[in-house]
Structure 1
Amino acid sequence: MLPGLTELELAHAEAELGFALPPDPRVVLAAGLPSGPGWAHPRGPPIVNSVMGMKRRMFKDLAPMLWYSFAQIPLYLYPFLNTTSKAKSFEYLRLASLNVIDALVKVDDTETVNFLVTSQVIPLCLPIMETDSELPKLVATSIARKIMLDASGLQYICATADRFFEAAMALAAMVSALAEQPSGRLLKHVVRYYLRLTDNPRARDALQICLPQALKDGTFDHCLQDDPATRCCLQQLLDNLGAPVGGGAPRPGGGGGAEKMEFMLVGSCSLQRARGTGKWTIDMMGPTWQ
């Protein structure tokens, strides 16, 4: 094992290669470089006879491999997000996995967002937002909202009625739970999620019909009395929708469906699915989602 790269050596090597490594691969390269068969050694061309030359060649060998390996880490966490057990051990596993992904979306990077969107992280977050305990809900909602701050993330959610209403149902379930057991830190993410959705014309039209009543009738006034920023976001949301006091709200589980069917009425949109399945059938009786 050879000594790792210094910050100056990393900077020179990145400039020579034309790209910058993210923090974690930099830590690995700074910790040490491998030696032995297959790796650069002193008996090479003149440029690698110096330690600096050897290190640069090592960087060229290792950097692409490390970049690819670290980029794929979220995919190994997705099966943990897909667990449904309510046992504390599984909840901690989901929370730890969510925290890793949340760290990724804290960096304002379209390439990262595109990777998470195309790898289907949002559908994994929605059930956690809807049914898990507060901390996993908080991190999952934060991830989905941060992804939507990027144009490609918002476009993904609003591209089809199916995707939009899956998100709307998860949010509606959260609002219903918050009305019974308020949490200011979770509510602020929910409000900002809704607010971001209003930047899409189709989503804004749908939310004019299906925004939960609890967000319009002052249910959360007490919860938000010490949070002027979220109160301002909620007022902006209502202004964007032109939402009057009163009106329809999603009613998860409502309706008088057959014994093996679940129904939801979202404004003028009827949704139904067989119990135990994840696929909702959407009957748009109001604005057409085109």
Structure 2
Amino acid sequence: MGLGLYRIINFNNKKFSIKFFNQRLPFIYILFNFLCRKFIVNPNINDKEILQFHKSGFTKIDISLKKEIEEYKDKFFINNQNQKENLKKIPLELDKNYKKDLAIKIKKKLSPLLKKLEKYFNCEVFLSDIEIWRNYNHNESLNLNVTHFGDHFHQDSYTMTYSKIFVNLMDIDENDGPLEIIPRENRNSFVKSFNYKDMNNYNLSGDKTLIKKNVGKIGDCCLFSSSQIFHRAGIPKNYRDNMQLILVTVPKKFSNKLCNINDEKLFEKNFELFQKFTKPYSLIKTIRLFFTLFKYKLNG
């Protein structure tokens, strides 16, 4: 009953938020992100990637995972049952021993970025989840009533303590359905131009110049704040292989569960371990999270 009521309130808040704030988030998350950007994060870091991330909500990062991907790409496989079901988004699987080795190498390669993000967030930042999947073409690109893999513009309903890194597992161009992003500075223009009402109710013929596409080479990485910016998965003409890395911002004294995640378990969806710090389910919990981060910054 309580969760059902929350979902109704949450839905209503998103409609309110789109109308008055041009964002598809619960109002309490919009407020949290505003206060977090004003009082917690440090945008005055002399680093072009962090400055771009703060301004636009996304940035290409000067780290390539090409070597790691090429080492393991022949070891990815698709479960036959998933293939039989004709799904349009299918996880790419990996033997558990390879999972552990790949996770260790990814964390090592991302270490310089995580240190920069910790200075920006004034808090610890952990890699908490790894997902690998393939998106297939479908013929419903104009049907906003059906979504297969987040292929309609939306914002993720999390606070800005939740970030993502998209990694290209193949060379990706316009034909491969790249991730499409609306920079923060284009958000108001996007909502107006596309007459955006919700993820299944907007004008498909809006101003395409407002959209940035994550095209690039195998191993290229794009860091983005999926709660702060509108984004969608493009529809490939054939298929597209992706890796998604979830980053979580959390005070060190609360980080035991995250920093002790077994490397192989990074592939097993650890939402319950980090939802407290990324998706609080009430106004009180959201306020409590803000003051926890604010206090940690002052005492850090």
Q: Fold-level match, TM-score > 0.5?
A: no
Structure-1-length-normalised TM-score? 0.23
Structure-2-length-normalised TM-score? 0.23
Which is helix-richer, 1 or 2?
Answer: 1
Indicate the structure (1 or 2) with the bigger Cα radius of gyration.
1
